[in-house]
Amino acid sequence: MLDLFADEAPWQEPLAPGAVILRRFASQEALQTLALIDAVSHEAPFRQMATPGGHRMSVAMTSCGARGWVTDAQGYRYASRDPQSQRPWPEMPGVLLQMAQRAAGEAGYSGFTPDACLINRYEPGAKMSLHQDKDEQNLGAPIVSVSLGLPALFLFGGPTRTSPTKRCLLEHGDVVVWGGPSRLFYHGILPLKPGNHPLTGEFRYNLTFRDAG
């Protein structure tokens, strides 16, 4: 099938020092990426994990790569095995690794070697409250975040929870890269509006590539 959403040339939008939105950067690889997400989720199914405080997350998650991000009563952390199956996470597909490396390079971060790809699935109403990505060992490496399917409002703030936030609509194929001075900036996703995307139906998918170390 031809990807009818892949014919727009990408462009960049600065977001904050060290942070940029690469609009439509992942459009060409969207179909392949969605197929790979499907394959990963057959081995390591999407699940709604519990926060250390005991709340069930509205976002369903899985991971691929040497490490995956998990949360439970013990806290947030990276684990080399899927706690549900006790098996290693599915391998990070080479095309996804290469896409993340190209995006990082485009944003000025050469030599990015992510070992974790967290895959988020949002259904209508699902959200991610303001947080920092700080469970990774290597804070010198950026975060590369790929959005697919339904659009979502992304909040990007600053170094404290109360820093002013920018609100950006992230659409199918958009990639956000943040690192350096904004590596620990607060960010989140507002509740997903219902919709029907031709490639993902009622869902939004987000992949974040990290060097968890």
The answer to whether residues 109 and 100 touch, using CB atoms and an 8 Å cutoff, is no
Identify what 182 binds: Fe ion, ligand SIN, none; CB under 5 to 8 Å per kind: none
Our finding on whether 33 is near ligand SIN (CB under 6 A) is no
| Binding to ligand SIN in span 124-153, by CB under 6 A | 128, 145, 147
Work out how close the CB of 131 gets to Fe ion at its nearest, in angstroms, rounded to a whole number: 6
Q: Within 102-121, which residues bind ligand SIN (CB under 6 A)?
A: 120
Interface region with Fe ion, contact rule CB under 5 A, candidates 22-30, 106-114, 132-140, 198-206: 132-140
End-to-end CA distance of the chain: 38
Residue nearest to Fe ion (CB): 133
In sequence order, the 6+-apart residues with CB closer than 8 A to the CB of 162 are none
Sign of CA dihedral 37, 43, 45, 46: negative
Residue 90's closest CA among 126, 127, 64?
64
Q: Which of 61, 189, 192, 212 binds ligand SIN (CB under 6 A)?
A: 189
In the complex, the smallest distance separating the C-beta of residue 188 from Fe ion, rounded to whole angstroms, is 8
Question: Is the Cβ of residue 88 or residue 188 nearer to ligand SIN in the bound state?
Answer: 188
Are the beta carbons of 183 and 18 closer than 8 angstroms?
yes
Partnered with residue 50 across adjacent β-strands are 56
Q: Which amino acid is at 209?
A: F
Question: Which stretches of the chain are assigned E, i.e. beta strand?
Answer: 11-16, 19-23, 60-65, 68-72, 75-79, 116-122, 128-131, 143-149, 152-156, 166-170, 175-178, 187-189, 204-210
- Under the criterion CB under 5 A, does residue 133 sit at the interface with Fe ion? yes
103 is in the binding site of which of Fe ion, ligand SIN, none (Cβ under 5 to 8 A by kind)?
none
**What residue is closest to ligand SIN based on CB?**
206
Residue 183 lies near ligand SIN (rule: CB under 6 A) = no
Residues that bind ligand SIN (CB under 6 A): 120, 128, 145, 147, 154, 187, 189, 206, 208
